[in-house]
Structure 1
Amino acid sequence: MNLSLLWIPVTLAAAAAQTGRNATQRRLTEQIGTVGATQVRFLYGFPFALLALAGVRLVSGEGVPAPNATFLLYVLGGAATQILATALMLSAMRERAFSVVTAYTKTEPVQVALFGLVLLGDPLTPPVALAILVATAGVVLMSVKPGTSLTSAGVRPVAAGVAAGAFFALAAIGFRGAILSLPEGSFVIRATTTLAWGLGLQTAILLVWLGLFDRRALLASFAAWRPSLGAGFLGALASQFWFIGFALTTAANVRTLALVEVLMAQAVSHRFMAQTTTRRELVGMALILGGVAFLLLSQH
């Protein structure tokens, strides 16, 4: 069976699940604060990751790959940087529109490509590099509002969004490195094992942090368990697909195609938050679609 293009539908599924999770977390941020909402995706996602791992083992008959030192280093790096990225993204969403902040974080693919080349030796061909630049230009265009000065009160959410993109890039490289470092098993069992380890580490880190420094947020996340459970499920589902994508192709390919999430976020803003789409944003969308299309055409 030819799996060379399986990463495409897998990534699209991940982007759809992540859009739903981001919208759910944004509402939770208003109820329980940024740190509490950040913790929710990991604490409530971890049980679903364990269920996924048990299901994959049952269906495939494979054992869980044993971790090694390289795996643990990569997965811990991915776990820590993803926590920081999520917290920065949710903080920015408290001050700017959902679709705009999502756009800022999606400056990530350029950094993913560079980090992947340097840290993992992932190839970066000229057509793929061009596709990344075109799609990222579309994201930047969408995120710039006519007549808005970035030297005004909008600097902080912009900086937080771009920094979140950088940490998301490092997280993607960390998790792909962890998946590749496992010596045995199919791509599905290696991806799911990495997901379980990643969410387990993230849950432990945040439980300790909140227990020491923000018990109110921790208790609030337990009280808001119903919406938190939905965010955790969508987060685990999205991550499962992301990790399968990372197991199949470079993180740069996955995260560039994932820019379609910006278009999904725009649809969410338009439908549920009564936000209109400007001409500039439409041009940005066209660039994103053009870059993604060029990326797909460059695949062999």
Structure 2
Amino acid sequence: MGLWIPFTIFAAFMQSWRNAFQNKLSKEVSTAGVTLARFLYASPLAAMYLWGLYQVEPIALPTVTSKYIITIALASVSQIIATALMVMLFRLRNYAIGVGLAKSEAVIAATLGAFFFSAPLSGLAWTGVIIGAIAVWLMSNTGSITSLSPKTITLGLGSGLAFALTTLWVREASLMLNLPFPYSAAWVLLSVISTQTILLLAWLLIKEPSTLKALWQRPKLTMAISLCSCLGSLGWFTAMSLETVAMVKTLGQIEVLFTLFISARWFKEKLSRRDLSGLALIMLGAACVMLA
């Protein structure tokens, strides 16, 4: 079994909890505040992880180029946009549907990766990606296609596109450093999270200072979001330093399994036979990419 597989499963599990906590916070804090909560306390955690790696085995520091800095900036802004759009989705549809629509990132990442990032897939891998996309659509579209408003579809696809671009740029940045596993992923993790924290803090200090106070008054929930986000990103970034984004994100659709469990147990949202059918397809798609 490739090492990227357990890292992906771990990332999907942590991301499902991060989304759940964000969904809860979105009922009390603005979209920008919920987005910042994802990164606010994550930078020190990422720095501690990187420091720990160098204590175990010191290696040379990376050479930072202008191309790396631009790629990190693009990934950081793209993930902020993706997160903000997902939070807006939470307010339009229920929790599980919001996540389901945003999971269109797997098929978008596969397409963009094949055409623009020199990351072609095998026939079996493409089969897994397509099956996963069908499963996500089956689970997110609980009625007829006309029951989804244009705004909901636009936000969902927009979030998926932004998340896909984020992961593709993260992998590119990781490959630029020419460092051994897992150091490259750790440097990219710290770079991205630090950039995002600075950007969002500056924005909120100028535009929404009251939102910072609201986050300060909810320390446990904000810390839970940051912790799950940091651990999830650690899993994603590490997996993507070992395998193509499309493969990682298709397997990562098992996040929907965790999401539905949280949705049913915590948010008391009912699951249907359609949900179970979608889960079966997700597992089939995941099996295809693992075998590929």
Q: Do both share a fold (TM > 0.5)?
A: yes
User: TM-score with structure 2 length normalisation?
Assistant: 0.96
Q: Runs of 5+ in structure 1 lacking a partner? A: none
1:158 paired to 2:153: yes
Give every structure 1 segment of 4 or more consecutive aligned residues whose post-TM-superposition deviation is greater than 6 Å: none
- After TM superposition, the structure 1 stretch with the greater mean CA deviation from structure 2, 282-291 or 58-67, is 58-67
The residue that corresponds to 2:173 in the other structure is: 178
- CA shift at 1:275, angstroms? 1.7
The residue that corresponds to 1:141 in the other structure is: 138
Aligned partner of residue 61 in structure 2, secondary structure: coil
User: TM-score with structure 1 length normalisation?
Assistant: 0.93
User: Residues of 1 paired with 2:70 and 2:113: CA distance?
Assistant: 16
- CA shift at 1:64, angstroms? 3.2
Aligned partner of residue 202 in structure 1, secondary structure: helix
Aligned partner of residue 259 in structure 1, secondary structure: helix
Q: Runs of 5+ in structure 2 lacking a partner? A: none
User: Residues of 2 paired with 1:147 and 1:138: CA distance?
Assistant: 15
| Structure 2 CA distance for partners of 1:134 and 1:148, relative to 1, 3 Å | closer
Instruction: Give the alignment partner of residue 55 of structure 2, picking from 55, 58, 64.
Output: 58
The residue that corresponds to 1:240 in the other structure is: 234
User: Residues of 1 paired with 2:143 and 2:113: CA distance?
Assistant: 34
1:213 paired to 2:210: no
% same residue: 31
- CA shift at 1:63, angstroms? 3.6
Residue-by-residue CA offset, 1:144-183 (whole Å, 9 max, x unaligned): 11357336xx442332122101100000001001000113
The residue that corresponds to 2:28 in the other structure is: 31
The residue that corresponds to 2:78 in the other structure is: 81
User: Residues of 2 paired with 1:10 and 1:77: CA distance?
Assistant: 24
The residue that corresponds to 1:190 in the other structure is: 184
Residue-by-residue CA offset, 1:225-257 (whole Å, 9 max, x unaligned): 221111111100000111100110101111000
Instruction: Give the alignment partner of residue 275 of structure 2, picking from 276, 281, 285.
Output: 281
User: Residues of 2 paired with 1:63 and 1:232: CA distance?
Assistant: 29
The residue that corresponds to 1:114 in the other structure is: 111
- CA shift at 1:282, angstroms? 1.7
1:99-110 counterparts in 2 under 5 A?
99-110=96-107
- Kindly tell me the number of residue pairs found equivalent between the two proteins: 292
The residue that corresponds to 1:250 in the other structure is: 244
| Structure 2 CA distance for partners of 1:147 and 1:134, relative to 1, 3 Å | closer
Instruction: Give the alignment partner of residue 168 of structure 1, picking from 163, 186, 198.
Output: 163
Q: Aligned-residue CA RMSD in angstroms?
A: 1.5
- CA shift at 1:219, angstroms? 2.3
User: Residues of 2 paired with 1:48 and 1:236: CA distance?
Assistant: 7
User: Residues of 1 paired with 2:60 and 2:27: CA distance?
Assistant: 42
Residue-by-residue CA offset, 1:70-108 (whole Å, 9 max, x unaligned): 211211111110000000001111221111111101111
- After TM superposition, the structure 1 stretch with the greater mean CA deviation from structure 2, 196-205 or 278-287, is 278-287
CA contact (8 A) 1:101 1:158 kept: no
- CA shift at 1:196, angstroms? 0.3
The residue that corresponds to 1:295 in the other structure is: 289
